[in-house]
Copies of this chain bind each other. A is one copy, B any other.
């Protein structure tokens, strides 16, 4: 209700600001007896963290997850898994320049208006750093639904996009380049473009496509909690996301029914999959795929007008951390959120 939880049977609640002592969360409802792969968790954390390559922010964050409960001799016990991720790099003076002003297209102003108080050190709770907790929990969720395969990748940056269906891509190449685009030629173009944007002190948006395979038939609940509705909410809860479409998406809105219907094969699979693996809110066993739109990051290294707390328009220039394109780093976050949603529906599904 107060917004910091997701899921019902597999439920994550998170806490933490970018510049407090630590972020963290509680996973409640993880099934017992799962022998956790801690290296897989570290790998996901490293995918999300800043400073991975020349095209992302160089700020270092050590994202070590410390598990405090719910795990005994390497296995989940069925009791809540509490974890923290210490903030090792906070310097309170970093943010003194934004103490008295509201950066454009950040949440500074609305937090101040809503709560009457604001942790002005970094983005506080609205910082993208908050997603570290999501990635940690998502890495566990992936292990809960280990037979389901989740692959996200960058499908566009600015105007540059992959001009192939996902079936033509080799997902094993996603991690082979800093842009996390499995099509190498497109990846190169994206990388060059991001470097150019970086030089300009600017930022650029992009899209991530996510493909979920090997999903059992029957995940999802009518009518308000349709599987794609919850996936959409989960994606829209990621910082900077402005849109979500699945299956035929916005293109589907231009089509005719005679083109759009997915005809059946005798085994219940469908010849086409414009439905995106979900019908009536329930998985039908075909691939689930969706696309998520990210706006450009608001912090740019150019001078901009901003509003100070006394109502004056003043000029400000971003400092320190420059993340010209956050989309590559958002790939593990998209996968984590998908895993959290699927784990929740999967546990519910098992019970009927």
- Using a CB–CB cutoff of 8 Å, the interface residues on chain A facing chain B are 1-6, 8-9, 11, 13-17, 20-26, 28-29, 31-33, 66, 68-70, 72, 75-82, 84, 102, 104-107, 109-111, 113-119, 123-126, 130, 156, 158-159, 197, 200, 202-207, 217-218, 220-226, 228-230, 232-234, 236-237, 239, 242-250, 252-268, 270, 274-276, 279-284, 293-300, 302, 304-307, 311-313, 347-352
Contact = CB atoms under 8 A, between A and B. Distances in A.
A37 to B, nearest CB: 17
A203 B257 contact: yes
A15 to B, nearest CB: 3
A165 to B, nearest CB: 17
A79 B124 contact: yes
Contacts of A158: 254-256
B233 A242 contact: no
Q: Which 10 A-B pairs have the closest CB atoms?
A: A107-B280, A3-B221, A15-B82, A243-B245, A203-B257, A2-B29, A233-B233, A264-B307, A114-B218, A351-B351
B125 A351 contact: no
Given A246-B243, A304-B261, A9 B1 contact: yes
B243 A243 contact: yes
Given A110-B217, A205-B255, A263-B304, 9 more contacts: A1-B348, A13-B13, A22-B69, A24-B82, A78-B114, A84-B84, A104-B262, A105-B274, A114-B218
Contacts of A284: 109-110, 113
Nearest to A78: B115
Task: Kindly report how many copies of this chain are found in the complex they form together.
Answer: 4
Contacts of A245: 242-245, 250, 293
Contact of A125 (B24, B79, B236, B294): B79
Contacts of A22: 68-69, 82
Given A125-B79, A255-B205, A117 B32 contact: yes
A13 to B, nearest CB: 5
Nearest to A24: B82
23 contacts: A3-B281, A13-B80, A14-B80, A16-B82, A23-B82, A32-B117, A32-B352, A79-B115, A104-B261, A104-B270, A107-B281, A115-B352, A159-B254, A200-B258, A204-B256, A206-B253, A233-B236, A243-B252, A245-B245, A259-B296, A260-B295, A260-B296, A261-B304
Most chain B CB inside 10 Å of its own CB: which residue of A3, A263, A279:
A3
Contacts of A256: 158, 197, 200, 202-204, 296
Contacts of A254: 156, 158-159, 205
A256 B230 CA distance: 29
Most chain B CB inside 10 Å of its own CB: which residue of A11, A26, A262:
A26
Given A20-B68, A20-B69, A237-B226, A218 B110 contact: yes
A261 B298 contact: yes
A79 B112 CA distance: 12
